[in-house]
Structure 1
């Protein structure tokens, strides 16, 4: 059973979400004040509407309360982002995810009831920085302010060593939660598992510990 989504704000971030959800077969209503942007997504989204999301009566008339999840992807207009989020929670929308411009914006969004707050530019910047600094890091996902999960390509230094021998948990405080090897995925690998050069290690831990391990791999 497909879920129904609303995406408010059709900039690069919001537009990419609309496209991805539509490709996954989800029902998506796309909303923006800009008629040109709405026209651009009219053939992609299930419904595309030109509307002012800070107007409570407009939100109610669109039946947004009945959707499973609303994503507020408004760009630089922090005031509109906050007002829209406030209106959505007041009319009873259960799940609201909002794009934040900065930490102050995030604090306000959380205080008025946003269920989830994302920082796409900041998070992507961290991913790119990690990828640039270390050739071994394929992907980087922040779990909290101090913990992340990363995909690290095992190099020659790790080749032929078992997880037990490397003792990454004791030395670095990190856990290898899975190993990707060609088309195989080894979930919760045993201590006796031998790492091969080219394996993709999915590692979780504190950012400081991940950084220490990355430097050791250089």
Structure 2
């Protein structure tokens, strides 16, 4: 087996990652301490095994030190999540991505060397809040604690004006990196191109600046 990806913890979050990686035709080792969960993924993952990943011997027996990407999606057991992450980094895994239960958990994970800390509940909450607050916001993707990418529908207020006319970067400090127009995507759009109603603007910037721009659309 080409051991590129391993997912530890097969709850709702970890299970969805396994399924999506398999859709993308990636080889995935799925691991959980719960036999019933493992049985659910026998026909989905490339290999599904029962294992307690807080035991270094188990990790070595599974060959996890040879994986380039390991996702730790352990549910409510923060201690197991932290210990598993620590052991994986000690084994030399190149990239360990870990689901954080809260900010304290995230800080500990960062201190022990987690390469990526994922906040699924918090991030989803932010996405939903932005969509609810503005009918123009179609999607919201957090890049860091302070920067995000947002998709905004160009409604009447923006239509028939160019990016140059709107001067979005100078006024709000955010950049339009692409425009979706029907089936087409205009990457790095010419600032003189007029925006059409129902264009989707893909914007990147500081969260505060993006929020200011979103608010300007509702005035």
Verify the 8 A CA contact 1:147 1:206 in the aligned structure 2: yes
Could you tell me which runs of 5 or more consecutive residues in structure 2 were left unpaired when the two chains were aligned.
Answer: none
Q: Which runs of 5+ in 1 are unaligned?
A: none
Match of 1:65 in 2: 65
Q: Which runs of 4+ in 1 moved over 2 A?
A: none
1:174 aligned residue? 174
Number of the residue aligned with 2:8 = 8
Secondary structure at 1:84's aligned position in 2? helix
Deviations 1:52-87 (A, max 9, x none): 010000110011111220000001100000000011
Contact map agreement 2:3 2:66 (CA 8 A) in 1: no
Please say if residues 3 and 29 of structure 2, whose CA atoms lie closer than 8 Å, have aligned partners that are also in contact. no
Task: Give the C-alpha shift of residue 107 in structure 1.
Answer: 1.3
Q: Secondary structure at the match of 1:44?
A: coil
Superposed CA RMSD in Å reads 1.0
How many angstroms apart in 1 are the aligned matches of 2:3 and 2:178? 29
| C-alpha deviation, 1:133, in angstroms | 1.0
- 1:161 counterpart residue number: 161
| Structure 1 counterpart of 2:126 | 126
Task: Find the residue that maps to 1:129 and give its secondary structure.
Answer: helix
TM-score, L = length of structure 1: 0.97
Q: How does 1:127-142 map to 2 (within 5 A)?
A: 127-142=127-142
SS in 1 for 2:125: helix
How many aligned residue pairs are there? 217
In the other structure, the counterpart of 2:206 is 206
- 1:3 CA displacement: 6.5
CA deviations on 1:129-150 (whole Å, 9 max, x unpaired) are 1111111101101122222110
Give the TM-score, by structure 2 length. Answer: 0.96
Q: Is the 2:73–2:99 Cα contact (8 Å) retained in structure 1? A: yes
